[in-house]
Amino acid sequence: MQAGSGPKRHNRSFLAEAEQNLIRWILPRIPGSVTSLHLTIVGLLGALIAALGLVACNWTYWSLPAVVLGVSLNWFGDSLDGSLARYRKEERPRFGFLVDHTCDLFAQIALIVAFGLSPFLSLIAAFTILLCFLLFSAYTYIRAAAHHIHQMSYIGVGATEFRILMILWAIFGAATGLKEPLVNGLSGLDIAILVLAAFAVVALGVKAVMDARIIAEEEGPALARITVEEIVAEDVDARQAEAMA
């Protein structure tokens, strides 16, 4: 539900081209009565269905199809809501940005926490993944504001690849009878996830430094042209405004 006039969308994930081709095929076939807001709601409901299915796997693996269905619905709603608004030229920039990204945030949190309550990940591993997800999400929005680029993937992995990994891990866990402890110490999987998370955080830090250098080079000449008199004048104006307030 984002407007096309916002930050430039930047998606170099492994499946980006195939995904966009599929989305372009689906868009003309969506009934006119279905709106982008409906799709956003479908995406959120899909995440809740998958979350319930993951928790239910503690008692029966027959709930695994609910995980696959829910994650698929989450992809469908989340990937097509903004595309549908742009396709129909019905963008509502501020409303769309607020509703879309808020629902995405709650959906992904529900899915990751549900994995921690399932047999397939411990809470420690799930919270580590959640921490990384929130960190990368926060930096995505910071970069969109500072660099005017909406980074939709990192190291070839975007939201779609992440959803596929969720489904594959759940299927693998069910097939191998994986039973991760809820909070009882650190398992080998926990340690592996902690190590990968550390590398991800370091990589994000390097990315942030590189972005900061690019922005500094772009803004440097402009800042150099600001004279002392202009700075003093701006300071006086600010003080006068505070006095009038």
Q: What is the 3-state secondary structure (H, E, C) of 61-87?
A: HHHHHHHHHHHHHHHHHHHHHHHHHHH
Amino acid 224: pLDDT: 44
pLDDT digits (tens, 9 = 90+) for 148-207: 777 778 777 888 999 999 999 999 999 999 888 776 666 788 788 878 888 887 887 887
Enumerate the domain spans of the chain.
8-244
pLDDT digits (tens, 9 = 90+) for 23-43: 999 999 999 999 999 999 999
Q: Which two tokens stand for residue 210?
A: 């590189």
Q: Which residues contact 235 (CB under 8 A, 6 or more apart)?
A: none
Q: What is the pLDDT of residue 2?
A: 41
The CATH number given to 8-244 is: 1.20.120.1760
pLDDT band for position 141 (cuts 50, 70, 90): confident
* Nearest CA-CA partner of 149 in 11, 1, 13, 3: 11
* pLDDT band at residue 105 using 50, 70 and 90 as cut-offs: confident
pLDDT of residue 236: 56
User: In this predicted structure, what is the pLDDT of residue 16?
Assistant: 83
Name 212's bridge partners: none
CB 12 within 8 A of CB 150: no
> Residue 6 — very low, low, confident or very high, per pLDDT cuts 50/70/90?
low
- CA distances 91 to 36, 103, 159, 163, 215, Å, are 9, 17, 22, 26, 29
pLDDT at 244: 58
- Answer whether residue 55 shows pLDDT above 90: yes
Contacts 24+ apart (CB under 8 A), 239-243: none
Check pLDDT > 60 for residue 120. yes
Label residue 223 by pLDDT band (50, 70, 90).
very low
Kindly report the average pLDDT of the chain as a whole number: 83
Q: Give the C-alpha separation, 55 to 223, whole Å.
A: 54
Residues paired with residue 10 on neighbouring β-strands, in sequence order: 151
- How far apart are alpha carbons 84 and 80 in whole angstroms? 6
User: What is the reported pLDDT for 10?
Assistant: 67
